Amino acid sequence: MHATLPLLEATTFPPLRRGTLTTLQVNLGYRCNQTCVHCHVNAGPNRTEMMDDAHLDLVIEVLKARSIQVLDLTGGAPELNEGFRELVRRARALGVHVMDRCNLTILFEPGQEGLAQFLADQKVEVVASLPCYSLENVDKQRGKGVFDKSMAALQQLNALGYAQPGSGLKLSLVYNPQGATLPPEQCQLQADYKRELMAHFGIEFDELFVITNMPIQRFGSMLISKGQFNSYLQLLRDNFSEPNHAAVMCRNLVSVDWQGNLHDCDFNQQLGLPLTVGGAVRMAAKPHLRDLLAQDPAGRPVRTAEHCYGCTAGQGSSCGGALKGA
């Protein structure tokens, strides 16, 4: 796989500083039951990196120490971490809102029986990957048979109350383009998804998150192989939006890798770019989850590179879809 960081480090991206920390996004490991073309994590069935119990315990301590409102669980497939369910239980007992970034097909993997019911019982928000509402496009991007399993998983979640009025069970879907293009306008695409999924499968969901593909890891390597890397970066630069710059997710989120190391976002995590040091109180040269027990990252500069233009281009992009600044 081609390295992308050397092509991204020299940057003209405007400086950023952190605000109040409200969300802890934790990568529970890189193992996944899928191998998606667009995956910026390079996750797959053969990855062995998984967060251990000691670090899972530390996550809970940090939630308490920093009064964090949201725990955003990602991977890989976060549910494949053996400590996933206990972590969710403990976080919910603290009153923390938990989000599970779910690939849907995980609901049918051996050993995951009862997962959907567990998520519903714990009132976990499910953020589910679905890059299109057609079989051909989904299977092309995510693997043969993924679309049919995804439809079955969404129907199962609906039957448990997800996306149903008054249930308190939120179900959001995630769209990302198949190639080196910016995603379409979020509101219109959401309307298309709602119409098509209801008409053909009787499926309901709350929101569609439209996310720009980042030129890193597997997707970035594919762009290099196709000779499209530089042109895609230029597309992101040309569509920079100043209002989006003020709304990017890294101002209020810290990304934690499977070893407990801290990063400004999941994309920086995959590039090996740690949270910056400095400020009134210095963190370790390689900041770790334990540092958050006593130190607040507010006010620290965000480590930026050229891929950051992916979050500010067009309508903007974040783990919660288009940005409010757009």
Residue 326 covered by a domain:
no
Assess if residue 118 is contained within a domain: yes
Going by DSSP bridges, is the β-strand pair 125-129/171-175 parallel, antiparallel, or unpaired? parallel
Distance CA 170, CA 119 (A): 11
Dump pLDDT digits (tens) for 196-227. 999 999 999 999 999 999 999 888 999 999 99
Contacts of 117 (CB under 8 A, 6+ apart): 160
Find the domain containing 269 and state its range: 5-312
Residue with tokens 């991206």: 13
Q: Is residue 323 part of a domain?
A: no
Question: Is 324 inside any structural domain?
Answer: no
Cα distances from 219 to residues 188, 223, 225, 236, in angstroms, run 25, 6, 10, 15
Q: Are 233 and 286 in contact (CB under 8 A)?
A: no
CA distance 92 to 70: 10
The conformation of residue 306, written as its DSSP 8-state character, comes to G
Q: Evaluate whether residue 59 is within a structural domain.
A: yes
**Collapsed DSSP state (helix, strand, coil) of residue 105:** helix
Is 295 a member of any domain? yes
In which element (H, E) is residue 74 found? strand 70-74
> How do residues 51-98 score in pLDDT, each as one tens digit?
999 999 999 999 999 999 999 999 889 999 999 999 999 999 999 999
Q: What are 202's two structure tokens?
A: 């009787």
2-58 pLDDT, tens digit per residue, is: 999 999 999 999 999 999 999 999 999 988 876 565 556 666 777 888 999 999 999
Q: What is the pTM of this model?
A: 0.92
Residue 73 β-bridge partners? 26, 100
The structural domain count of the chain equals 1
| Residue pLDDT, tens place only, 218-251 | 889 999 999 999 999 999 999 999 999 999 999 9
129 within some domain? yes
Task: State the average pLDDT over residues 316-321.
Answer: 84
Question: Do the beta carbons of residue 78 and residue 129 sit within 8 Å?
Answer: no
Residue 77: give its domain's CATH number: 3.20.20
Q: Is residue 321 part of a domain?
A: no
